[in-house]
Amino acid sequence: DAGITQSPRHKVTETGTPVTLRCHQTENHRYMYWYRQDPGHGLRLIHYSYGVKDTDKGEVSDGYSVSRSKTEDFLLTLESATSSQTSVYFCAISEPKQGSGQETQYFGPGTRLLVL
């Protein structure tokens, strides 16, 4: 299994509070991703990073920010959590390969977030 950990694994918080989720990898992969998974929507990309301090928005980035100060860590922050951000959050990593489209992503175990 790829060395990817997510913390916390479960979190309950209240609307309006800030929340930070952490993804840590030991594989030294260059790319890192944050997805959310909701019933009926599959996985949707929130933000991704293609290197230290290099990040970009995904499909559903509103209300989220990210930071990557080290290769191994990718943080997802909900500045002011809302009930619509209740979801399961997955981190993933990948390494660029020649022939874009061949990269495979390795996923972490997920974080269940409940915003009351």
Partner 1 sequence: DAKTTQPNSMESNEEEPVHLPCNHSTISGTDYIHWYRQLPSQGPEYVIHGLTSNVNNRMASLAIAEDRKSSTLILHRATLRDAAVYYCILNHNNDMRFGAGTRLTVKP
Stretch (H or E) spanning 46 = strand 42-51
| Residues 49-68, mask of contacts with partner 1 (x by CB under 8 A) | ----------x---------
74 binds partner 1, rule: CB under 8 A: no
- Give the CB-side neighbour count of residue 65, counting CA atoms within 13 A: 6
Q: Which of 61, 75, 105, 114 binds partner 1 (CB under 8 A)?
A: 105
Main-chain dihedrals φ then ψ at residue 25, nearest 5 degrees = -125, 150
Q: 61 in the Ramachandran plot: left (φ > 0), alpha (ψ -120 to 50) or beta?
A: alpha
Looking at the Cβ atoms of 74 and 108, the one nearer to partner 1 is 108
Query: Which residues contact partner 1 (rule: CB under 8 A)?
Result: 31, 35, 40, 42-45, 59, 90, 92, 94, 96, 99-110
